[in-house]
Structures are given as C-alpha cells and as structure tokens.
C-alpha cells in the first residue's frame, strides 16, 4: 500500500465519481465518496462502493494464459505469451496484409491507453481496422452534435447547471439505475421549481420522479421530437431572433417538422395529443431549458436523425449556447468521451482530428515520427469489424471489451471470434470473450495504475494509483510497449502514463479536443480541467474556426464565474500570461462551425429497421439494472451485486403475460430472427403492453444481445439495440 488514503475516481460510468481508497481491515481497499468532488459530492452507488472487490486475486487474472494443444487455456510466462501474440499478429500481416490485423478497444481504457492503442494499430501494425465498444455508446449523439454545433462533447456545460435550468427533457435515460448519484441533479431541479419530462417506454425509477412521463412506442422517438417541434412552430413559440442570428437551415427543417402534426404523431408513438401539447408548453415557457439524451434514442438505426430532431427542438427555441440551456448527451462508459477522442475510433486521430484531413495527418505523423503517407485511412466501424472477423480480418488484439455479451447479434459475433486464426485479449478478468482467446494477458486495474479519464462533462480527471498490481500482472501500456518492440518498433511506446499523456498533449494541440494545456500537475491540484484547454503557445481549434467560446475559470466551487477568451482572426494564438482555465461551457459566443452558426437538420420520421408482424408481434428493448455495469464482466464477480441482481429477466405487461399464460417467475422464451433467449418473467404495469424489456448484463441462455438487431445507422454506424421484433413463448417444465 502506497498511501493511507488515495483520492481517485470510480472505474465505472461516465460520472467518474470522486472516491477515496483506504486500506480495509481484510487487507484490501475500501471505497468512500469524496465530498470535495463536485459531481457526486460524496455519494457512491453500490457498484462504485464495491469496486475494490474486483481487485481481489480470487476473481481476477494474475497470470497470462495460452491455448494448449488440447484446446484448454494454461498458465504461461509473460515472455511466452507476448511472443505468441506478436507471432500471431505478424503471421496474419505477412500472409494477408496489414488490414488482416484488427484492434478492438474499450470505453473504459484511460486516455493514455486509448491513445497508445490507436497509435499501435496505425504505426506498428499499419492497419486501418481499429474501432471500440464506445461505438455502441453515444456515436449517434456524437455525429448529430458534430453536425449541428461543429464539435462533439457529451455535455457542453457542467452538470451543476442542470438543477438551475427551467425544464429538462430526459430522453431514453434512466440515471436512477445507470448513474444513481446523478439523480440528485433532477431532484434538485424540481426542488428549485423546474420541471422534468422523461421519455421512456417504461415507467422506470427515473420516470417516477418526473412531472410528465411520455411513454412512446420503442423506435418512435424521432416522430415524438418532430411532433413537439411542429407544436412549437404552430403555437408561435420559436425564438425567431435567435434563429436568425445564430443558426442556418431553419426553413427546410421547419417544413419537415410541419409534416408531423400532433394526431399523426399520436398514431405513431402512442403519446396522446394533450400530452404532446403539455410537453411543448413545459419546455418553452421557462427562460432556460435543456434536452438530455442517452442510449434510448441513440441506439437506433436512425439514431443520428433522432438526436438531430431533439437538437432542432432546442435550436428552434433558442436554447444552445445560452446559460443554463442547451442540448447534451449522457455518456455511458467510464471513459466513453475520452476513449473516442484519441484514436480508437476507426476514422479519427487524437484530439478529434479526422483521419482524412491531410493537415491532421501531418500534425500527428510529426508527433509520432512517421511519414503522413504511412498512416492508413479509415477502417470499419465496430460491428462491421466484428462481422469481418475470420474473413478479411484474421487476427485480433482486443483490450477491455466483452463483445460476446455486449455486441448485437451476439451469437453471430461469438461465431466470428471463434473463426479467427488468432485472438489475443488483454483484460482484468476471464470474460466470456477472453475465454475464447489464444492468449489472455492479465492487466492492471484502475486502482493499480495512474491515468486520466474524461467524464461526460468533458472534465479531464486524474485517476491515481492506490496500490501496486499483484505479481504476474502488467499494465496495458507495458503490453503495448513489449508488443511494439517484438514487431520491430523499439521506440515510441513508453510505459509511464505521464509520458504518454505529454505526447497526447502534443498530438491534440490545436485540435477540436485540445488537451495541450492540461498537465498531470494541474489535474492533481484541482478537480479536473474541461477541454478544450490549449497551451499558451498553441493555437486553439476554436481560434482557428473563429468560435472563441466562453470559458469557465473553475467550477469546482459551484460558482458561475465565466471568463471570455475572444479571438478575432483565424490565425491568432493564445497570448494569455496565465494557463488556460479550461472550458466548462461551450458555444456561449459562437458555435464551432466555420461561420459560428449552428446547423438545423431537416429530418423526417422513418420506421425502425424491423417492425412487428404476425410472426414477431412484440417489440423488445434492452437496458441496464442498477447493480450491474455493461456486460457484467466485473460486477458479476461481486457477491453483493449478484445478490441484488442474480440473473436476467423478461419484463412484460400483465395483459401480455395473461395472453402468454405466464406467471411471475415463469421462464419465458423471447425469440427474434437472430436467436432465442430464456429468462424468468417479471410482470409489471410499468411497461407498455406491446413491449418487453431485457437487461443485457448476462451471457448464456438469458443473453439479451442474442436477439438484438445489428442494423446500422448510416451516419454513426450505431446498431439498433433498442428496438427489434420478437415473439414470446411459454417454457413448460
């Protein structure tokens, strides 16, 4: 143990709650909430409080494993395991070319590891075939936000603004179960006189807190948003001066919305016209208001258009870029924001630089010490990469993800993983995916290594090491260093996370997600720094595009002080004599587009990729429960969490259960065009009669993602997790 108490952050969701780790009587660590961290203010959910349990050698990997001739995984030394990985990747590259090697990352990797993994793929392997499970998280919101505002950051304002706005529309989010410490922000909103509207086909614990709960049919969020915009226009509630001064594209967008009159939207969504009118009035009457989306509207084959429709509603009412107002996305994974900023995504270089931009390629290539032409172009998105395994992609290095449970059409993905010539998995536990690997590399966890993450607010945080990894365990940075050396790249992959971060700073200098002014020292001295934060001697991306956002000095104290940093020409650089304070609030002056105006998107409703029919008459939607996280690879190894949520279930309405002849707890089979899952019935009137719900944390017979549809959004390449057609079958003993 290195210190009596180590201030750090939770390894799970994107709140990145502050916690202290102290020695426990049993020799492990105890996690308690940090009251000084402004996001959770001392609160921790059950997952965060029990996170140290996964550090135990009883549940985690402590030795490399290699596949023996008899097919079993056996313990091996690090030299043998790393040699096997390097040989497997090299063999595929020599036989089939660089793109025969794939790399699949995770939204839980630190910024340093995400950056190093993207660099490893492009510099060492020379492959374009890299993506990560964050593609399944908020890629639709990212695509819509980037198109509308010129920049993608989950929340363009800190969470502290939420309780002080007038109204929040929360779309497809259930923070009471997915990020419980955040629920207080919505409770405080109502205590302060604001109103909460929750859009969800289920009456969740979050929806129970709402002033108005809208329960649309799954897959119809796009029609709902368009119907609200129609009412805003028809009732004269648009902000015409804001539209004229700060936006473009309104005429076409207004025309598209006017084709979605209230009665038409009621038929599509099941939300009544009086409810639609009430929601429009509640959103428009206060001076300030927000729309926050999560996976519900985003994990659809039309997710980008759906989020764009909600952004249109915000723009038409003059919300984005004004105090206590705007659009934001509640990022899910712990480093889902930073993970996609720094090179794991198939089409991006560090700092959100585009892989197709010659200037971006030159800048990053110079930092990496390679020729720009040596960098491969964009590769496949996450599901497309998984679907290509065993055919075009013959060898895969996978870090921090468990697609056997978390990917859509999971049985097919499992089959593709099994068909690979070679699979190497770097993880902390023997996940269902790791169990298929030729080599498994045991790596350090969040409390055993220092690194940075970026929260849903765009707040860059320092996670501090509280103890050393157990013998036999190495860090992911050490793994990449060793593999690079074995594959002929001796330099450029340091094992010290601060050294990697300093290189990341140089690679992002002047980029949209500019970290160049952030240092470990600054992060250690305060509760995070919001990007963009350019260094004094670096031009900011906002300066280059003339956006010059207002920037916050430090919101740790909860103050609303703002410092404006204006740039008048596209060639200006920062001349401040003090370090840049970071940017808690974006777009208060201009948007990050060439002309500084936000872009409306003229979208229209279209049906989901798979609608119910006679053979599959019911809709399935999926989600999470409070006790587990993502694929459950870690939380299912914690006794307390397993006791709270021991297995999967099928949530269905009493009328649907009666037609099926199912009682509470009876096994029910849910069948889609892709497979069959069986789990006990949980009967409740909190769900629509035409819909069933399954959580996706479990493998095996109750694996929800066996059923889900991999139909992709044409822009974001997000699969349609949230809606597919199924039928129910009673399972008799």
User: For the residues 339-344, what does the mean pLDDT come to?
Assistant: 91
pLDDT tens digit sequence for 94-120: 999 999 999 999 999 999 999 999 999
pLDDT-derived band at 733, boundaries 50, 70, 90: confident
Residue 568: is its pLDDT beyond 50? no
At a CB cut-off of 8 Å and minimum separation 6, what does 30 contact?
Answer: 21, 22, 23, 24, 52
The CATH class of the 6-55 domain is mainly beta
Report the distance separating Cα 637 and Cα 650, nearest Å.
22
Residue 536, pLDDT score: 76
Report the distance separating Cα 178 and Cα 17, nearest Å.
13
pLDDT-derived band at 547, boundaries 50, 70, 90: very low
Report the distance separating Cα 403 and Cα 429, nearest Å.
14
CATH architecture of 65-134+335-493: 3-Layer(aba) Sandwich (3.40)
E strand map for 357-458 = 395-399, 422-427, 439-442, 451-454
Report the distance separating Cα 332 and Cα 12, nearest Å.
9
Residue 579, pLDDT score: 82
pLDDT tens digit sequence for 576-588: 335 899 999 999 9
Are β-strands 101-105 and 395-399 bridged in parallel, bridged antiparallel, or unpaired? parallel
Report the distance separating Cα 406 and Cα 676, nearest Å.
16
Domain spans of the chain, in order of start: 6-55, 65-134+335-493, 138-329, 526-604, 618-730
Tokens of 311: 């952004």
- What is the CA 144 to chain-centroid distance, rounded? 14
Residue 537, pLDDT score: 60
pLDDT tens digit sequence for 586-632: 999 999 999 999 999 999 999 999 999 999 999 999 999 999 999 99
State the number of CA atoms in the 13 A half-sphere of 89 facing the CB: 28
pLDDT tens digit sequence for 500-526: 999 999 999 999 999 999 999 999 998
Nearest Cα neighbor of 392 from 129, 119, 91, 118 is 129
**What is the pLDDT of the chain when averaged over all its residues?**
93
CATH architecture of 618-730: Beta Barrel (2.40)
User: For the residues 218-238, what does the mean pLDDT come to?
Assistant: 98
Residue 558, pLDDT score: 33
Residue 563: is its pLDDT beyond 70? no
pLDDT tens digit sequence for 283-319: 999 999 999 999 999 999 999 999 999 999 999 999 9
Residue 538, pLDDT score: 57
Residue 27, pLDDT score: 80
Report the distance separating Cα 662 and Cα 659, nearest Å.
8
Report percent pLDDT > 70 for the chain.
94
Residue 565: is its pLDDT beyond 60? no
pLDDT tens digit sequence for 168-217: 999 999 999 999 999 999 999 999 999 999 999 999 999 999 999 999 99
**Three-state DSSP class for 3?**
coil
User: For the residues 18-28, what does the mean pLDDT come to?
Assistant: 90
Cis status of the peptide bond prior to 308, with omega within 30 of 0: no
Residue 26, pLDDT score: 79
Structural fold of domain 138-329: Dimethylsulfoxide Reductase; domain 2 (3.40.228)
Residue 489: is its pLDDT beyond 80? yes
């Amino acid at each position: 143990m290195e210190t009596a108490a180590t201030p750090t952050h939770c390894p799970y969701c994107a709140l990145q709650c502050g916690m202290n780790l102290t020695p426990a009587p049993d020799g492990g660590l105890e996690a308690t909430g940090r009251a000084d961290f402004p996001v959770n203010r001392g609160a921790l959910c059950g997952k965060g409080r029990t996170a140290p349990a996964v550090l135990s050698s009883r549940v985690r990997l402590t030795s490399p494993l290699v596949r023996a001739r008899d097919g079993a995984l056996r313990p091996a030394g690090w030299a043998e395991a790393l040699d096997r990985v390097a040989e497997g990747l090299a063999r595929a590259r020599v036989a089939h070319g660089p793109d025969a090697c794939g790399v699949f990352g995770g939204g839980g990797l630190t910024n340093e590891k995400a950056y190093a993994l993207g660099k490893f793929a492009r510099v060492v392997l020379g492959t374009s075939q890299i993506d990560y499970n964050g593609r399944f998280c908020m890629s639709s919101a990212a695509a819509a936000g980037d198109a509308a505002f010129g920049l993608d950051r989950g929340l363009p304002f800190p969470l502290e603004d939420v309780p002080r706005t007038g109204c929040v529309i929360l779309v497809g989010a259930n923070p009471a179960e997915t990020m419980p410490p955040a629920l207080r922000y919505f409770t405080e909103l109502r205590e302060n006189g604001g109103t909460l509207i929750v859009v969800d086909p289920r009456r969740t614990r979050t929806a129970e807190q709402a002033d108005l709960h809208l329960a649309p049919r799954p897959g119809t969020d796009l029609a709902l948003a368009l119907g609200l915009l129609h009412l805003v226009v028809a009732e004269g509630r648009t902000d015409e001066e804001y539209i004229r001064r700060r936006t473009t594209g309104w005429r076409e967008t207004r025309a598209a919305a006017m084709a979605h009159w209230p009665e038409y939207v009621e038929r599509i969504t099941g939300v009544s016209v009086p409810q639609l009118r009430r929601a429009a009035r509640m959103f428009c009457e206060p001076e300030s208001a927000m729309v926050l989306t999560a996976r519900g509207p985003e994990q659809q084959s039309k997710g980008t258009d759906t989020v764009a429709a909600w952004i249109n509603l915000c723009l038409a009412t003059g919300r984005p870029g004004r105090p206590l107002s705007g659009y934001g996305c509640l990022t899910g994974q712990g480093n889902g924001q930073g993970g996609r900023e720094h090179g794991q995504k198939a089409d991006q270089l560090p700092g959100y630089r585009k892989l197709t931009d010659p200037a971006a390629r030159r800048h990053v290539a110079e930092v990496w010490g390679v020729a720009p032409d040596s960098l491969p172009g964009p590769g496949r998105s996450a599901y497309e990469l998984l679907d290509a395994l065993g055919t075009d992609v013959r060898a895969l290095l996978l870090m921090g993800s468990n697609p056997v449970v978390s990917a859509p059409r999971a049985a097919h993905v499992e089959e593709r993983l099994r068909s690979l010539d070679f699979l190497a998995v770097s993880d902390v536990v023997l996940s269902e995916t790791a169990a298929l690997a030729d080599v498994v590399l045991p790596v350090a966890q969040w409390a055993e290594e220092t690194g940075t993450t970026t929260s849903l607010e765009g707040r860059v945080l320092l996670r501090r090491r509280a103890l050393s990894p157990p013998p036999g365990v190495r860090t992911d940075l050490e793994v990449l260093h060793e593999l690079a050396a074995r594959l002929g790249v001796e330099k450029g992959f340091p094992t010290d996370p601060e050294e990697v971060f300093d290189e990341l700073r140089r690679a992002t200098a002047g980029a949209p997600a500019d970290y160049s002014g952030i240092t470990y020292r600054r992060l250690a001295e305060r509760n995070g720094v919001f990007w963009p934060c350019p260094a004094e001697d670096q031009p900011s991306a906002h300066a280059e595009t003339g956006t010059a956002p207002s920037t916050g000095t430090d919101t740790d104290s909860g103050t609303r002080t703002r410092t404006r940093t204006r740039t008048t020409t596209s060639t200006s650089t920062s001349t401040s004599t003090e370090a840049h304070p970071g940017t808690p609030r974006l777009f208060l002056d201009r948007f990050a587009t060439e002309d500084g105006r936000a872009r409306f998107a003229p979208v229209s409703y279209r049906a989901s990729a798979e609608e119910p029919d006679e053979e599959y008459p019911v809709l399935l939607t999926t989600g999470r429960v409070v006790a587990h996280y993502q694929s459950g690879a870690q939380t299912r190894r914690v006794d307390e969490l397993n006791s709270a949520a021991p297995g999967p279930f099928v949530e269905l309405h009493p009328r649907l259960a009666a037609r099926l002849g199912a009682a509470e707890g009876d096994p029910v089979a849910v069948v889609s065009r892709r497979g069959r899952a069986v789990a006990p019935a949980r009967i409740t009137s909190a769900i629509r009669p035409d819909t069933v719900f399954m959580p996706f944390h479990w493998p095996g017979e109750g694996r929800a993602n066996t059923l889900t549809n991999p139909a992709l959004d044409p822009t974001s390449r997000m699969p349609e997790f949230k809606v597919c057609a199924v039928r129910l079958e009673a399972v008799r003993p």
